[in-house]
Structure 1
Amino acid sequence: MWFGILIGITPLFIGYLLKVNNTRLMNKINQCLSIMVYLILFLMGSELAQLEDLINNLQNIFLSTGILFACSFGFNLIFLMVLDYFFPWRNQANNEPLPSRFKMILESLRVFLALILGFIAGRLSLPIWQYNQLFSEIILVILLLLVGIQLRSNNISIKQIIVNKVGITTTIIVTVTTLLGGWLASYILELPTNTALAMSSGFGWYSLSGILMTDAKGAVIGSITFLNDILRELCAIILIPSLIKRFKLTALGVCGATSMDFTLPILQKSGGIMMVPPAIVQGFLFTLIMPVLMTMLNYYF
């Protein structure tokens, strides 16, 4: 239990103690992070391919993903839109041309290629697959260490987080409603409550959530978690331009952890420069909360 908690939390905080000011080195770190993501998804795919009764397991994965996503993302939308209705956040709209949603969706879907290649490789009887667990844990530690460095090097002070009420508010609402959705999904899917809560608490960080849940609960649960989080990112890309005029808090909140990186450009271009500070704060907070919350739910409760 304690090893699982330590592997999910310690590298992140060690990385956060290290600040990098060299731009060239930070670019290398960002490149390494991308490589780690694809390696993790490749290993997830290979582990999934080795499941017994694969067809039935795949059917279960897709059905469970749909239910989990409908519950968690649905609760997010409902509560955020209610918040938007009673406490609208008014800022000046932006008229800049939006980035191509089709292109962003394609970029988001590229991660599936690594998963599919891993699945194909995993169907081959290779002795190397017996070390999957070890490889996953090593890559996970490196990934979290680099993410911690990346967070510290973004120069976000505690004061900047505390004074940004919008980013804190959306983070709290999304966290609570996502867990409510996970609790409901646990009854529908007949899963242990802590497992369903952990599955729902990826907040869009699909590369890390998938591998954490795979290590803790196996390939099926890990794959459901991964698909649930990639769906959040895809739906956020599609919904932001439609929501942003009347429901700014909703448009920000549904992005989850991706508001600091992947969905930030579309938030900025569709909602204006005022969307950027709360988006970064929200993404920053989710990046800190997610591994802690997920590992605690997996190993402590």
Structure 2
Amino acid sequence: MLLIFAPLVVGYFISITNKEWLNTLNKATTNLVYIILFLMGLNLSSLDNLSGNMQTIGQYTLVFFIFMALCNFATLPILDRLYPIDIESKKTKLPLSHMALDSIKLILVVGGGLVIGRLQPYPLTWVESTSEAILFLLLFFIGIQLRNSGLTLKQIVLNKHGMIISLVVMGSCWLGGLAAGFTLDLPVAQSLAMSSGFGWYSLSGILMGDAYGPVFGGSSFLIELLRELLSLMLIPMFISRSPCTSIGYAGATAMDFTLPVIQTTGGVKCVPVAIVSGFILSLLVPLLMLFFVSLPL
């Protein structure tokens, strides 16, 4: 855990003010995600009894996704009643299909790695070590991105809505994860690790795959990707009545991928709440996942 966590901490202490360097870093991070997801596909292709393992991935994905969504939607609406956000909802049409296609491309990258891995005749013993090396670099870049996100500790602490939303999302995801783990007869630590992705599909899939193998990595990736796709559909429909629920269910993506949808349909008052909530959850994903996967099963 310390070995994987170290690059994230080192990166967090690096401050970059040059916008061109930050843009280059963001592009490099995106490219590394695509590379690791492709390697995830290659790793899946080397599994024995591939069809049976794909069924297992589908089963884990469905059970965890349903239980966590039920717990999220059972608790987040309470915040809309206790801590309402006064917003001016906008009737704006968004190219959600285009944004959804960006998410689907990630599935195609994994699928491409799976197909190529099945077709090529050479052993894939190098994939796991290569994935770990790229993971260290990716975590280092993510640490730099979190440090240079523009949020200070004071801004996070003073934004009550963002902090409360992130804590409720975390707790309700764990509750759903434990229910899913009980249904699937999984250990508690593994269930909590699986439910700590909070929408960050790329990193959660990578960390789970590195810890428990490609079946759990693929499942975690799909669970969180489905969260993002559902968020894109639900935010425009419900943010005017339930802003806390809409922002909360977006999870870690509220500070980046789904932020334009939140801003456009919910107005500017939702933006700081979404950024703080998404930032806290993004910071918690590697911390909590690495902690839970380090525990004995």
Work out the CA distance in 2 between the residues paired with 1:261 and 1:202: 15
1:146 maps to 2:141: yes
Q: Which amino acid aligns with 1:157?
A: T
Structure 2 spans left out of the alignment, 5+ residues: none
**Match of residue 166 from structure 2:** 171
1:249, distance to aligned residue in structure 2 (A): 0.1
State the superposition RMSD in angstroms. Answer: 1.2
Q: Which amino acid aligns with 1:223?
A: G
1:250 maps to 2:245: yes
**Match of residue 56 from structure 1:** 52
Within the candidate set 281, 287, 296, 2:291 is matched to 296
Work out the CA distance in 2 between the residues paired with 1:84 and 1:258: 20
TM-score (ref. length: structure 1): 0.95
1:200 maps to 2:191: no
Q: Which amino acid aligns with 1:57?
A: N
Work out the CA distance in 1 between the residues paired with 2:188 and 2:284: 19
1:87, distance to aligned residue in structure 2 (A): 3.4
**Match of residue 233 from structure 2:** 238
**Match of residue 74 from structure 1:** 70
1:211, distance to aligned residue in structure 2 (A): 1.1
**Match of residue 217 from structure 2:** 222
Work out the CA distance in 2 between the residues paired with 1:253 and 1:187: 25
1:85, distance to aligned residue in structure 2 (A): 3.1
Work out the CA distance in 1 between the residues paired with 2:132 and 2:229: 27
**Match of residue 262 from structure 1:** 257
Q: Which amino acid aligns with 1:134?
A: S
Which deviations, in whole Å up to 9, do the C-alpha atoms of 1:210-263 show, x marking residues without a partner?
111111111111111111010010000011011101110000000111011100
Structure 1 spans left out of the alignment, 5+ residues: none
| Number of equivalent positions | 295
- Aligned to 1:56, the other structure's residue is in SS state helix
1:25, distance to aligned residue in structure 2 (A): 0.8
**Aligned pairs (5 A) from 1:174-185:** 174-185=169-180
TM-score (ref. length: structure 2): 0.96
Work out the CA distance in 1 between the residues paired with 2:93 and 2:36: 31
Identical amino acids, percent of aligned pairs: 41
1:74, distance to aligned residue in structure 2 (A): 1.6
**Match of residue 88 from structure 2:** 92
